[in-house]
Amino acid sequence: MYLKLNNIMDLNQKSSADHIIEHLLAIDVDGETMQYIIEGANLKYQILKQLIIEASDFDISNLLEERNSLHDSGSNSHFNCT
């Protein structure tokens, strides 16, 4: 089982989520496909917020540095930077 059961997620939600995770692992989903799924489910902002809140300052700093480097080099064709 991938997710810890908590008071927000019931057993059906957890079972469904675990099934989806197993399927994504089985098809070896890549980052671009996962981004497409997240955006299709209208969860982009929510997931970004949750990941930022849980990320370390070190990780956030490194990601911002990488993003700025991509912007500076003009090689951001895979990124939607709005």
Domain limits, the chain: 11-73
- d(CA 75, CA 65) in angstroms, rounded, equals 14
What pTM does this model have? Answer: 0.64
Q: How confident is the model at residue 81 (pLDDT cuts 50, 70, 90)?
A: very low
Output DSSP code: residue 7: S
pLDDT value of residue 9 = 72
- d(CA 67, CA 60) in angstroms, rounded, equals 10
- Tell me the per-residue pLDDT of 12-68, one tens digit each, with 9 for 90 and over: 888 899 999 999 999 999 999 999 999 999 999 999 999 999 999 999 999 999 999
- d(CA 75, CA 47) in angstroms, rounded, equals 25
- d(CA 6, CA 19) in angstroms, rounded, equals 17
% helix / strand / coil in the chain, to the nearest 5?
Answer: 65, 0, 35
